[in-house]
Structure 1
Amino acid sequence: MVEPSRTSAQAPVEDPGPNDPTNNFVTCIHQVRVEEIFCHVTVTWAKTMISHTLYITVENPTGGSATTSTATGAGNEEEENHYTCKIDLKTWQFWGKKGLKTFRVAEKRFDVFWDLRAAKFSSRPEPDSSYYVAMVSSGEMVLLLGDQRDEAVKRTKSRICLEGTMLVHKKEIVYAKKCFCTKMALGRNGEHSIMIEASLTGPCDPEMWIVVDGRESIRVPNLHWRFRGNDTIIIDEIPVQILWDVHGWLYNNGSNDGVGIFAFRRVPEDEGNGSSEEEAAALVEFCHFVYACRI
């Protein structure tokens, strides 16, 4: 299974590879509207044995070269058509987990505010709760991450303008022995809990289950013959295509470390189903990749 290609503006840093067990990452690509121009913002939470970093990359809305200005509290990287803001989360300084970074892309000013002082983390590199990361341009908050909405508005003194903002791509790595759990915004009603469970040893043939919100949605027996495949399920009345490649689970030759690859993609809805064009476009775009690494 081949992952869709991305432009350099959408790939600010090289994602930690799923073959390296010290790496853990989540990458999200958001479409945002800055004034009347749409652009992509890529957010990557990356964690290794020695580092924990947040990368935020803004694509040049006009396609020209980017100009930048420096600020304290975060590193920065500048390339031809995008700007990457690097925030170190593994700092010993309590006040270092709250900051502001200002830069320009195609003469448009962007301010990134963050407060991770009270953030609660689990085994995943991205926080679970009690934080915010907000991006402001032209006095409008065009991107908001986290659950501290009121705190973000108060600090940025900006007007929330998330019209046109949507998540179009997500990629993550999940480690487990047999049950891989994550959450996905696949339907109309927010995030759904996804569990991928596999039984690869024992007297029976290897098999796999995909469970959505506690209900079994797909069962794949005889994985020796069906280690690659796809199926479609319905979530919130939206068709979702699931593709899998678990060859690495069954025939690990030392080069892939037992990695299974899954893609969850919204299927375009049939015409005449009553959905508006804007709603249908927002639902079609999203695709979620999961690297399931057995440990």
Structure 2
Amino acid sequence: MQDPIGIPTCFSSSEKLSDDQAAVTRSGQSVFMTVYRTKIADQCRLITITWCKNLLLHGLSVSVEGPEGESQYTCKVELKPWYFWRKQGSKRFIVDGKAVDIFWDLKAAKFNGETEPNSEYYVAVVCDEEVVLLIGDLKKDAYKKTGCRPALIDPILVSKKEHIFGKKKYSTRVKFLEKGRFHEISIERKNSSGGGNMSNGNSSIGVEPEMEIKIDGLLVIHVKHLQWKFRGNESIYVNKMRVEVYWDVHDWLFSPGLRHALFIFKPILSSISLSSLSSSSSPPLFSLTSTPLSSQTESSGSLEGLNASGSSDFCLFLYAWKLE
């Protein structure tokens, strides 16, 4: 379940993304990373869109995977309040001899307090006169600005990685399907009365830690005796779609200072669940069952977005940082 953090810092002027865990400890910084797979320069490559936010600015980074995944071509934008010209622009770099252009328009972007904008923006990646990736709602403006046609192959959403901070409660919004609706995920650490006793300073006699995970306000996972079950997994159902949930909260309980827990949400799609999703208009259905621990957190699949096992390419990696 361990996943490299790879946290870029909004303050860095370097073209290389920082892997230093200390970067995330900067006051108030949140990070949201989205990874897509698409065809660029005659090869299937990963594109990573990273948004970071701290007390001073918003930052945007667009990285394209280099040859054999060894290096990256990166475009960084710092949205400082006094740098209005940086909120719209373009940048070009060469990938295997072919030009790749990044276009962005964030002049009127609405963030609504979140790290990633909600509306009134676009970010487009262009290669071979095709828009190979386009995010945001201003799609007509993007096509007009780039003067290019949509790519014949749609990009595949591979993963999202989000870093959030809190003392007891952590929440985020996510789409388990690219064309699905947003779901509200809430994770909360609690203490309950019991006979447990832990040797470190995080729990006392008569108090046992618990954890609750809610989706759209409904409890889907309740872990009691968290000090013994700090790593585990469950299978839940969201709108009849199975979602594997993995957690590792060891550092919450046993490590002092600013430490993070890792949660992974992995949709498992079948032909039955896909037909149910397309035809169902009923309220969300949740249920809870046990399932063997799986290590299928890597992305591999067809251009349709599903692999042979029926598992979606998509994974949500949620890093929940504990503030004292």
The normalised TM-score by structure 2 is: 0.73
**1:24 and 1:17 mapped to 2: Cα distance?**
13
Who is 2:264 aligned against? Answer: 263
**Cα displacement (A) at 1:249:** 2.4
Q: Which amino acid aligns with 1:2?
A: Q
Distance 1:155 1:20, change over 3 A: same
Who is 2:251 aligned against? Answer: 248
**1:158 and 1:57 mapped to 2: Cα distance?**
20
Q: Which amino acid aligns with 1:14?
A: S
**1:146 and 1:289 mapped to 2: Cα distance?**
21
Q: Please state if 1:198 is matched with 2:185.
A: no
Who is 2:117 aligned against? Answer: 127
Q: Please state if 1:220 is matched with 2:223.
A: yes
- The C-alpha deviation readout for 1:24-80, integer Å capped at 9, x for no partner, is 2112211012375311111211234455321111123x549xxxxxxxxxxxxxxx7
Distance 1:232 1:162, change over 3 A: farther
Aligned partners of 1:30 and 1:41 also within 8 Å: yes
Distance 1:148 1:232, change over 3 A: same
**Cα displacement (A) at 1:235:** 2.8
**1:182 and 1:273 mapped to 2: Cα distance?**
24
**1:231 and 1:274 mapped to 2: Cα distance?**
21
Q: Please state if 1:285 is matched with 2:313.
A: yes
Match of 1:59 among 65, 89, 98: 65
- The C-alpha deviation readout for 1:176-203, integer Å capped at 9, x for no partner, is 2322111222246243221112213777
SS of the residue aligned with 2:145? helix
Who is 1:32 aligned against? Answer: 38
Q: Please state if 1:85 is matched with 2:75.
A: yes
Who is 2:2 aligned against? Answer: 2
**1:134 and 1:167 mapped to 2: Cα distance?**
15
SS of the residue aligned with 1:133? strand
SS of the residue aligned with 1:205? strand
Q: Which amino acid aligns with 2:73?
A: Y
Distance 1:54 1:15, change over 3 A: farther
- The C-alpha deviation readout for 1:235-275, integer Å capped at 9, x for no partner, is 34432211111222223423xx24221111234x5699888
**Cα displacement (A) at 1:13:** 0.8
**2:190 and 2:136 mapped to 1: Cα distance?**
35
Gaps in structure 1 of 5+ consecutive residues: 65-79
SS of the residue aligned with 2:82? coil
Higher mean C-alpha displacement, 89-98 vs 273-282 = 273-282
**Cα displacement (A) at 1:16:** 6.3
Q: Percent identity?
A: 37
**2:34 and 2:271 mapped to 1: Cα distance?**
29
SS of the residue aligned with 2:140? helix
**1:125 and 1:16 mapped to 2: Cα distance?**
20
Q: Please state if 1:95 is matched with 2:85.
A: yes
**1:273 and 1:24 mapped to 2: Cα distance?**
34
The normalised TM-score by structure 1 is: 0.79
Distance 1:170 1:274, change over 3 A: closer
**Cα displacement (A) at 1:97:** 0.8
Distance 1:33 1:219, change over 3 A: same
**Cα displacement (A) at 1:125:** 2.6
Q: Please state if 1:209 is matched with 2:212.
A: yes
Match of 2:25 among 17, 20, 39: 20
Residues 63-78 of structure 1 mapped to structure 2, 5 A cutoff? 63=68
Q: Which amino acid aligns with 1:168?
A: V
**Cα displacement (A) at 1:119:** 1.1
SS of the residue aligned with 2:133? strand
Q: Which amino acid aligns with 1:140?
A: E
Aligned length: 272
Q: Which amino acid aligns with 2:218?
A: R
Aligned partners of 2:57 and 2:81 also within 8 Å: no
Aligned partners of 2:5 and 2:21 also within 8 Å: no
Higher mean C-alpha displacement, 161-170 vs 12-21 = 12-21
Residues 150-161 of structure 1 mapped to structure 2, 5 A cutoff? 150-161=140-151
Distance 1:58 1:293, change over 3 A: same
Q: Which amino acid aligns with 1:196?
A: I
**1:89 and 1:273 mapped to 2: Cα distance?**
41
SS of the residue aligned with 2:312? helix
